[in-house]
Structure 1
Amino acid sequence: MTNAWKRALAWIAAAAGAAMLSGCAAIAWAGCQDDLRPADAAVILGNRVYPGQRPSPALAARLDEGLAIWRAGKVRALIVSGGVEAGGVLGGEGDEARVMRAYLLARGVPGSAIIADPFGDNTELTGRNTATILRAHGWRSVIAVSQFYHVPRTRLALRRAGVTDVRGAHARYLTWGDFIALPREVVAYPVYWLGRPAWL
Structure 2
Amino acid sequence: MAHLAQVSARLLALGVLAAAPQLYARASTHRDRGPAATGDFRPADAALVLGARVWEDGRPSLFLRQRVEAGVALYERGLVEHLVLTGSGRNREGLDETASMQRTALELGVPAQDLVRDKSGHDTRASALNARDQWGLSSVIVCSQEFHLPRAMWLCRSMGLAVQGAYPPVLIREHTAFGYARELPASWKAAIEIARERPTPT
3-state DSSP of counterpart to 1:109: coil
1:195–1:150 distance in 2 versus 1, CA, 3 Å:
farther
1:179–1:124 distance in 2 versus 1, CA, 3 Å:
closer
Whole-angstrom CA distance in 2 between matches of 1:106 and 1:180: 33
1:171–1:181 distance in 2 versus 1, CA, 3 Å:
farther
Whole-angstrom CA distance in 1 between matches of 2:179 and 2:143: 15
**Aligned position for 1:75:** 80
Equivalent pairs counted in the alignment come to 184
3-state DSSP of counterpart to 1:166: strand
**Aligned position for 2:160:** 162
| Contact 2:83–2:116 (CA under 8 A) maintained in structure 1 | yes
Deviation per CA, 1:24-72: give whole Å up to 9, x if none: 5665564683252111111000000012111111111111111100011
Whole-angstrom CA distance in 2 between matches of 1:145 and 1:60: 11
Whole-angstrom CA distance in 1 between matches of 2:70 and 2:195: 30
**Aligned position for 1:113:** 114
Deviation per CA, 1:83-130: give whole Å up to 9, x if none: 021132xxxxx1001110111011111010000000100111101111
Counterpart code for 1:86:
R
- Root-mean-square deviation (CA, aligned residues, Å) is 2.7
Mapping 1:48-197, distance limit 5 Å: 48-83=53-88, 84-88=90-94, 94-135=95-136, 139-163=137-161, 165-174=162-171, 175-195=176-196
Whole-angstrom CA distance in 1 between matches of 2:59 and 2:167: 20
Once the two structures are TM-superposed, the CA of residue 19 in structure 1 deviates from its matched residue by 4.2
| Contact 1:38–1:75 (CA under 8 A) maintained in structure 2 | yes
Whole-angstrom CA distance in 2 between matches of 1:120 and 1:81: 5
| Contact 1:145–1:169 (CA under 8 A) maintained in structure 2 | yes
3-state DSSP of counterpart to 1:154: helix
Aligned-residue identity in percent? 28
3-state DSSP of counterpart to 2:80: coil
1:150–1:132 distance in 2 versus 1, CA, 3 Å:
same
Task: Name the TM-score, length of structure 2 as normaliser.
Answer: 0.78
Whole-angstrom CA distance in 1 between matches of 2:187 and 2:86: 23
| Contact 1:149–1:181 (CA under 8 A) maintained in structure 2 | no
Q: Structure 2 regions of 5+ residues with no counterpart?
A: 35-39, 198-202
Q: Structure 1 regions of 5+ residues with no counterpart?
A: 89-93
Deviation per CA, 1:11-30: give whole Å up to 9, x if none: 32221124446765665564
1:148–1:188 distance in 2 versus 1, CA, 3 Å:
farther
